[in-house]
Amino acid sequence: MTQFLEKIPDSKSYYTKHTGGHEMIILTILNKANVQSFLELGIYKGDCIMKAAQFIPNCVGVDIVDHIGPNKNFKFVNATTDDFFSSNTSKFDAIFIDAEHKLDVAIRDLENSLKVLNYNGFIFMHDTDPACKELVHPGYCGTAYGINEYVYKSHPELDMVTLPVTEAGITIIKRKNENRATSYFQ
């Protein structure tokens, strides 16, 4: 990733200034929303999930490669996201999708995540607003940014906001009409 960013003009300073911003946003929201169960698809080095597991009792991370080793403070599933969902029976308050950066896989991950998302839950998706065309590279954001158009066209029952933060952007997705107030009357 760093080698790729070095090809972008002034990428080292850009990368240094902006890396990790999406984790801060996610962790702040998870904490303030009192999330009790969290699923992260594509954990890489575990920067987000290891911090989330400090205050969320049920954290599950899924990745095809274990970059962290044995000292994890969360449940790690060494599998593809498709394999994880084929055997998963748990539901989650929040889900962070940052695994495969191909649109077709991001769509499957979103559809599978919606099936296991608790009432009033929300989904974060990374790589949804690349800051420049060079970031639309298979080794970086890939075609995952296309998920925004997919959600608009295919899921009118969802609310979505894309934040132009860091070099890749982040999208937050939630079902319409699900909030704490409406849950009182169910």
**Span 31-73, pLDDT tens digits:** 999 999 999 999 988 999 999 999 999 999 999 999 998 889 9
pTM of the prediction?
0.87
Instruction: Report the domain count for the chain.
Output: 1
Query: From CA 182, how far away is CA 129, in angstroms rounded?
Result: 31
Residue 20, domain extent: 2-183
SS3 91: coil
Q: Which residue has 């090809």 as its token pair?
A: 7
Q: By the 8 A CB rule, do 160 and 152 touch?
A: yes
Question: What average pLDDT does range 68-88 have in this prediction?
Answer: 95
Q: What band does 180 get if pLDDT is binned at 50, 70 and 90?
A: confident
Query: From CA 34, how far away is CA 21, in angstroms rounded?
Result: 20
Domain holding 174: CATH number? 3.40.50.150
Q: pLDDT at position 166, please?
A: 84
Query: From CA 123, how far away is CA 93, in angstroms rounded?
Result: 9
Q: pLDDT at position 185, please?
A: 66
Tell me the DSSP string of 165-183.
Answer: -TTT-EEEEEETT-SHHHH
Q: What band does 179 get if pLDDT is binned at 50, 70 and 90?
A: confident
SS3 35: coil
**Span 113-134, pLDDT tens digits:** 999 999 999 999 999 999 999 8
Give the helix/strand (H/E) hosting 104.
Answer: helix 103-115
152 — phi, psi (to 5°)? -60, -45
Mean pLDDT score of the chain:
88
Q: By the 8 A CB rule, do 26 and 124 touch?
A: yes
Q: pLDDT at position 71, please?
A: 82
Q: pLDDT at position 70, please?
A: 87
